[in-house]
A and B are shown apart, each in its own frame.
Chain A
Amino acid sequence: MELPAQTFQVTRADLIRYAGASGDFNPIHWSDRVATKVGLPGVIAHGMFTMALVGRAVTEWAGSPDAVVEYGVRFTRPVVVPDDDQGTEIEVTARVREVTEDGLTRLEVTATCLGEKVLSQARATIRTAR
């Protein structure tokens, strides 16, 4: 079963806010100078920020903020965030792989940016609504 797609807009301001909230101040997430110096195409989103947005999609599908039992991803491609008001967009889709007898639902999640997959092997297990 396919779940409804969700889209998240990501701007530089979001990255600054996430840096502050998470304590990850790596300059590749806010400085073009540093990002390009280490060979990146520009400032990139924290992988953990992308994972957090996808986690939000998962809890929204689950209908409960505390339903996630297991959640894992592989970071395959950086999300480049241009320095403008639109930023970029991450699209998240998922399908139900399995519903277990003990009330768990296993999701296979896909996150793309500009049509390219940014996470692979993204999987979440959620407790089915109480």
Chain B
Amino acid sequence: MPLDPSFVGRTYPPTAPYLVGREKIREFASAIGATDAAHHDPAAAQALGHPDVVAPPTFPVIVTMAASRQIIEDPALGVDYSRLVHGDQRFAYTRPVVAGDELVCTNTIEDVSTRGGHGFLTTRTDVSTVGGEPVVAVWARYVIRGEA
């Protein structure tokens, strides 16, 4: 089923806040082998001017991938999850994510198209604090493989 192009420009209601934990940042940093002290030690992060440990650049995907299910599982859009492939990923940071952030995601569908039997879906997730401070904008492009 081709994706419905009328969804382009649609913005979804903000997601429930995600509280970024210090141990979660440490766990994520350890899993990718990131040993810089600022990911693990609050004092090292404070020396760089941050209130608590700093997340590695791709950490926000934990928050945005969960949030983007709002789009991918929207029955009206009709994405077949079993045929979904992650195509592109991009982050534009206002500042790094730090432990203690309470993050809210606002999802927008930026583009929907169908080419060569495959569906393409571009989402933008604006991640901000519960107080409204912008933190990072995250784009993902998904390919929904056609039935060959």
Query: Are the C-beta atoms of B31 and A17 separated by less than 8 Å?
Result: yes
Q: What 0/1 readout, one digit per residue, does chain A (8-42) give for beta carbons within 8 Å of chain B?
A: 10000010011011111000000000000000000
Knowing A48-B86, A65-B39, A73-B89, say if A22 contacts B61 (CB, 8 Å): yes
B117 → A minimal CB distance (Å)? 16
Total interface residues in chain A, CB < 8 Å: 31
Say whether A47 contacts B90, CB under 8 Å.
no
Cβ contact within 8 Å between A48 and B58: yes
The interface residues of chain A lying within 8 Å CB-to-CB of B58 are 48, 51-52, 55, 71
A-B contact pairs, 19 of them (CB 8 A): A22-B61, A48-B58, A48-B86, A55-B56, A55-B57, A56-B34, A59-B56, A65-B54, A68-B57, A69-B93, A70-B90, A72-B88, A72-B90, A72-B91, A72-B139, A73-B88, A75-B86, A75-B87, A75-B88
Query: 9 shortest A-B CB distances, which residue pairs?
Result: A72-B90, A21-B31, A65-B36, A52-B32, A55-B57, A52-B58, A68-B57, A17-B31, A21-B28
**Interface on A for B, CB 8 Å cutoff?**
8, 14, 17-18, 20-24, 47-49, 51-53, 55-56, 58-59, 64-66, 68-75, 121
